[in-house]
């Protein structure tokens, strides 16, 4: 799951810093905007089969590659 | 009696908030008390307006039926798109009727707060479809939808967040910190609304009706700042009041005039409204567009998304040429900004530099003020169209 997610993030953010620094804040650094966020949710559903609603997550806590990964792991475990 | 703008209201408010302060300090649940206060304020607000009161009651019954009915159907029919769309349509139908009736000078469902109440009900339907909400008691529904501090003009809270606050009891220390912050917000809101907004309103009055260009510019700036201090002041008081009732209602403004670009502006101006549209319209439109490959690429999809999003927001403010133009104006600006940020090497090379940020801020401020000028209705007037 980790690899797939980081591939998705790298593709959307057009930057491999998401892999080297997985605690980077994607929104504060402008790596991800509203468009990128929608792409992220669409790609997570397509490639990982986890359906996340846009209002489900809070962008102040769903904001780094690692935190997104943790969230996905809890979601797929339940 | 209207909210947050007359002595009568503030006198009742103080009387109502003192016992809640006591309950909070004693670590007692505030949900019963705050909901009773909501019923009292709603009664006071609509007491002298029987027609509005009747529409509010009818609206409330319709929404409650739709929400409860849809929650039951969500279990039996699962994620059935048709049922979902029907429920969503029914939940916004009163608002649509009210806006359309306004076009013919009629009044159907014309009562204080309908626009904001509709948001709260529609999001319950949407999140039920998403599986995020599975049940909601009549009490919780009432407490959330009619919550009096934000009844008339927001901020627009989210039900899951609101109910978590409503159904929990804060430790004394935490409640006192929240209440202190709340009192500060109420006082700051008073200064914003009663003093600063009035000053700019006076400025507007000085040049109202003048068509000379520098008067027009002066009016536009005064109106922009008036709108901010009036609405942000109201919002601060609404948020502060809710803090005293143990509810951490989200903020509506975060220094909007500091924005470096229009996208940032919408992250700072009327935040709960723009985030509502972002989460419940824009993101969904985008995800669907990506799925159905409606557009050649994702950038085009985003541009279309911004246009649709802001047009609907304009229509929500009212079905008038000024509001529609205002929505389209911001839609075009957001789309242009998105395109510029993605395509321009000039932007990528200079965006961190001080002079660039200053210039970008200055241009954004002018665009924002011009947007308010459209919003005020004066632009359409200036063009001789009204």
pLDDT in tens, B261-297: 999 999 999 999 999 999 999 999 999 998 888 898 8
- The answer to whether B251 touches B271, Cβ cutoff 8 Å, is yes
B158/A42 Cβ within 8 A: no
Angle made by CA atoms B240, B241, B243, in degrees to the nearest 5: 65
Number of domains in chain A: 1
pTM: 0.94
ipTM over cut 0.90: yes
Compare CB distances from B298 to A39, A53, A56 and report the shortest one's residue: A39
Chain A residues lying within 8 Å of B283, measured CB to CB: 34, 37-38, 41, 54
pLDDT tens-digit series, residues B134-188: 999 999 999 999 999 999 999 999 999 999 999 999 999 999 999 999 999 999 9
B305/A55 Cβ within 8 A: no
The reported pLDDT for the residue numbered B2 is 86
Residue A59 has pLDDT above 90, yes or no: no
The whole domain housing A6 covers: 2-77
The CATH number linked to A57 is 1.10.1200.10
pLDDT tens-digit series, residues B175-206: 999 999 999 999 999 999 999 999 999 999 99
* Other residues' Cβ atoms within 10 Å of the Cβ of residue B305: 29
- Chain B residue closest in CA terms to A56: B132
- Chain A residue closest in CA terms to B264: A33
What pLDDT band is residue B386 in, cutting at 50, 70 and 90? confident
Peptide bond preceding B5 in cis form (omega within 30 of 0): no
B298/A35 Cβ within 8 A: yes
Average pLDDT over residues B339-364: 95
Active site includes B317? yes
Q: Which residues 6+ apart lie within 8 Å of B78 measured at CB?
A: none
A33/B158 Cβ within 8 A: no
Average pLDDT over residues B248-261: 97
| C-alpha dist (Å) from residue B369 to A64, B224, B268, B273 | 34, 6, 15, 19
Lowest mean pLDDT among A66-75, B193-202, B252-261, B295-304: B295-304
The reported pLDDT for the residue numbered A30 is 85
The reported pLDDT for the residue numbered B237 is 98
- Return the residue matching tokens 């200036």: B382
């Amino acid at each position: 799951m980790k690899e797939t997610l980081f591939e998705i993030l790298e593709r959307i953010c057009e930057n491999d810093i998401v892999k080297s620094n997985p605690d980077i804040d994607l929104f504060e650094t402008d790596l991800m905007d509203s468009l990128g966020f929608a792409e992220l949710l669409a790609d997570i559903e397509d490639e990982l089969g986890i359906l996340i609603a846009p209002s489900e997550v809070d962008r102040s806590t769903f904001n780094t590659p690692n935190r997104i990964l943790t969230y996905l792991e809890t979601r797929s475990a339940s | 009696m209207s909210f947050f703008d007359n002595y009568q209201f503030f006198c009742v408010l103080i009387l109502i908030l003192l016992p809640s302060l006591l309950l909070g300090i004693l670590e007692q649940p505030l949900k019963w008390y705050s909901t009773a206060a909501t019923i009292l304020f709603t009664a006071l607000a609509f007491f002298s307006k029987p027609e509005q009161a009747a529409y509010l009651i009818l609206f409330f019954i319709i929404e409650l039926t739709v929400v409860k009915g849809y929650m039951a159907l969500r279990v039996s029919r699962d994620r059935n798109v048709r049922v979902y769309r029907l429920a969503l349509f029914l939940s916004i139908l009163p608002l649509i009727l009210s806006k359309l009736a306004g076009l013919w000078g009629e009044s159907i469902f014309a009562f204080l707060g309908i626009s904001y109440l509709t948001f709260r009900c529609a999001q319950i339907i949407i999140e039920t479809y998403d599986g995020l909400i599975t049940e909601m008691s009549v009490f919780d529904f009432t407490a959330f939808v009619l919550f009096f501090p934000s009844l008339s003009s927001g901020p627009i809270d989210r039900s899951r967040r609101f109910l978590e606050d409503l159904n929990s009891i804060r430790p004394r220390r935490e409640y006192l910190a929240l209440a202190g912050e709340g009192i500060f917000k109420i006082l700051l809101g008073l200064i914003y609304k009663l003093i600063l907004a009035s000053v700019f309103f006076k400025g507007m009055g000085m040049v109202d009706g003048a068509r000379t260009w520098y008067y027009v510019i002066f009016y536009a700036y005064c109106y922009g700042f008036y709108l901010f201090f009036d609405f942000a002041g109201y919002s601060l008081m609404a948020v502060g009041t809710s803090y005293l009732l143990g509810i951490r209602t989200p903020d509506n403004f975060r220094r909007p005039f500091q924005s470096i670009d229009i996208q940032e502006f919408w992250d700072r101006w009327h935040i709960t409204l723009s985030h509502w549209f972002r989460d419940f319209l824009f993101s969904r439109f985008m995800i669907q567009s990506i799925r159905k490959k409606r557009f050649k690429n994702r950038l085009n999809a985003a541009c279309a998304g911004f246009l649709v999003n802001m047009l609907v927001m304009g229509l929500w403010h009212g079905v008038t040429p000024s509001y529609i133009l205002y929505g389209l104006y911001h839609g075009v600006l957001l789309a242009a900004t998105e395109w510029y940020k993605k395509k321009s090497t000039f932007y990528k090379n200079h965006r961190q530099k001080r002079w660039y940020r200053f210039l970008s801020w200055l241009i954004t401020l002018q665009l924002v003020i011009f947007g308010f000028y459209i919003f005020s209705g004066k632009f359409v007037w200036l063009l001789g169209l009204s």
